[in-house]
Amino acid sequence: MARTRPARAAGPVPAPGIGRLLAGWGFEAIVVAVGALVVAVLLRTFVAQLFIIPSVSMENTLKVDDRVVVSKFGGFTRGDVVVFVDPGGWLPEKPRTTDPLRLTLEFVGVLPDSSNEHLIKRVIGMPGDHVRRGDDGRIEVNGTPLDEGGYLYENDGVRVAPARVAFDVVVPAGHIFVMGDHRDNSDDSRCKLGRDDPQAAFVPVDLVVGAAVAIVTPFDRMTTFRVPDTFADVPAPTAAAPAVGELLHPEPGC
């Protein structure tokens, strides 16, 4: 008969060394950091992006240094405040920061975009819309005057005029007509009419980043945005949008 060796009593399992523990924790930290970075980039690319307001053109709706969240889904319509890429010639040349840390934080969405290639304005006309300055000085869209008292710039009880120079246009297909809320300090679609290339007044839809949905800082200015009620009264255009913008009454200046 074969002799069996008695089983050896199991001893205590040695604890993992400190090096192994640190390596495990380090790996987990890297995985978490990479995952967070991927999520941040995806959110910035497909969901929302933060922008900082650089000028007074949208006062008092937006003020200099406001941080604004812009939604990249859901589209936009008349009356929305939108961010768009400079179509060319709207903004002066300005060098962008070369600080690698800031550029990285902007890329992942931690800091607002500080580039000089974006503008923010209010959409007044969509493709096919007939936009003009009426005889009474108010802006008309498809024959309906806008009541802009709720958002035009006002100081000491004096509100800026909706437009000081007459214009009359039909917005081409795939484009929008935009204006700043501080009409006396906004270089917008009106100002491009009557210049060398009046078609530059119309912003291509594919350059629109998205609609502004909220101010997030400063905290005392936190608010959300909605389309002003006056735009609900604007009817749809009566004809298909032209391939090229129709300039029925362009004048230089704004």
Q: What is the pLDDT of residues 152-189, one digit of tens each?
A: 999 999 999 999 999 999 999 999 999 999 999 999 99
* Interatomic CA distance for residues 237 and 122, integer angstroms: 19
**Residue 44: its pLDDT value, please?**
47
Q: Is 114 a catalytic residue?
A: no
The span from the CA of 84 to the CA of 209, in Å, is: 5
Q: Note the pLDDT of residue 11.
A: 53
Of the residues 57, 71, 186, 189, only one is catalytic, namely 57
115 among known catalytic residues: no
The domain tally of the chain equals 1
pLDDT for residue 113: 54
In a domain, 3, yes or no: no
Q: Which residue range(s) make up the domain with 184?
A: 48-247
**Domain membership flag for residue 168:** yes
Confirm whether 35 is domain-assigned.
Answer: no
Phi-psi region of 105 (alpha: psi -120 to 50; beta: other; left: phi over 0): alpha
Return the exposure string of 228-245: e unless at least 16 CB atoms fall within 10 Å of the residue's CB, then b.
bebbeebeebeeebeeeb
pLDDT value of position 95: 57
If DSSP codes are grouped into helix, strand and coil, which group holds residue 18? helix
**pLDDT value for 12:** 59
CB 212 within 8 A of CB 58: no
Assign 211 to helix, strand or coil.
Answer: strand
| pTM of the predicted structure, to 2 decimals | 0.78
Residues of the chain with pLDDT under 70: 1-47, 93-116, 252
Q: Which of 121, 186, 189, 192 is catalytic?
A: 121
Residue found by looking up tokens 């007509």 in the block: 177
Distance CA 12, CA 7 (A): 15
- Residue 177: inside a domain, yes or no? yes
Exposed, middle or buried: residue 40 (CB in 10 Å: 0-12, 13-18, 19+)?
Answer: middle
Residue 222 lies in a domain: yes
Q: If you search the block for the tokens 């101010």, which residue do you land on? A: 215
Domain presence at residue 130:
yes
Q: How confident is the model at residue 191, as a pLDDT?
A: 92
User: Does a structural domain hold residue 59?
Assistant: yes
pLDDT tens, position by position, 91-111: 876 656 566 665 555 555 545
Q: Which structure tokens are listed for 93?
A: 């040349």
In a domain? residue 39 = no
Q: What is the CATH number of the domain that holds 243?
A: 2.10.109.10
3-state helix, strand, coil in the chain (%, to 5): 25, 25, 50
